[in-house]
Amino acid sequence: MSNNFQTRRNFRIAEVLHVIAGNYELLGNSEKFFFNNIADIETGDADSLVFITAGVDGVLSRLRETKSNIVVVEKTGEDLSEWSEKKILLVTDRPRTNFSKIANYVLNISNNNISQNRIHPTALIDPDAIIGKNVSIGPYSVIGKVIIGDGTQIGPYVHINDETVLGKNVVIQTGCVIGSVAYSEILNEPGSCRVSFPQLGGVVIEDFVSIGPMTCIQRGALKNTLIKQNSSIDTFVQIAHNVEVGQNVTIIGHSHVGGSVKLGDGVYIGQSSTIDNVGSIGSDAFLGIGSVVIRPVERNSKVFGNPATRITSPKITK
């Protein structure tokens, strides 16, 4: 079995430069070569797109190993002029990020009919649903009265309830439930008789959000649950009602975010963490594995433990 992932057509490097993040330098004749598959440096052939990070031996030693003519290379300050005569080098301080952006872009083009949606015949879709271009919906998924943006991919056995809005290029993997009704019984007032608070809001998921398998995102009560753009939510995660997830947030598997919590931009939540209804987690906060958060977390701080407390060492990096 080949580990090279075919792109179904030839791509020139100039066609994909618009997806690159940050600064980069392009070395070599950009029209000399093309690529038609994605691979690593060990299995790639001359027509593969590969990437190289410096490692312990630097970039030059690894360039000698690869047959590929188009290479995403980590910027290290090494002299690459010799190799720019032989290959096309995309030199960047974000080699993994930019390799991933290019790969995702070209594979998305290859796997979708550009002018057609790929909707499995077993999917059940509300006739009032609004579905954009190049959307894929997997087998046995149930789609309510929702709005789905261009390029969004929905896996099999996904249930998306009414009043949900998905932006562009959202990825929702197998078995997710979006827009379910949260537990909302009123328990702290006399004579409530287990009355449930109405859950009338919806779910809004912005562009380029990724949601892993078997995750549940609950609808809001009187306002929407909101997941902002470029955030990534892993497997078996629960997002409760009225939660607001900022941009570029990462939530690792088996974590729970309690109702009405606001996560700032750039927050990282380690696996199996639990966040009580604490109000807010400040931007760029880091929650270590298994954190049990029972009070607000300040921006740029690192917490860990049960209950989670602020730490200064050992140093934890994202």
Q: Which of 18, 120, 159, 241 is catalytic?
A: 241
Tokens of 177: 């439930």
Tokens of 151: 């390029």
Sheet strand arrangement including 24-27: 5-11, 35-38, 48-52, 70-74, 88-92, 24-27
Cα–Cα distance measured from residue 50 to residue 71, given in angstroms and rounded to the nearest whole number: 5
Helix or strand run (H / E) with residue 146: none
Given a contact cutoff of 8 angstroms between Cβ atoms, the answer to whether 231 and 250 are in contact is: yes
In degrees, rounded to 5, the angle at the alpha carbon of residue 188 between the alpha carbons of residues 182 and 189 is: 115
Half-sphere exposure of 227 (CA within 13 A, CB side): 36
Whole-angstrom Cα Rg for the chain: 23
| Residue 256 annotated to the active site | no
In degrees, rounded to 5, the angle at the alpha carbon of residue 181 between the alpha carbons of residues 176 and 185 is: 140
For 75-110, b where at least 16 C-beta lie within 10 A, e where not — what string?
beebebeebbeebbbbbbebbeebbbbbbebbbebb
Catalytic residue set: 241
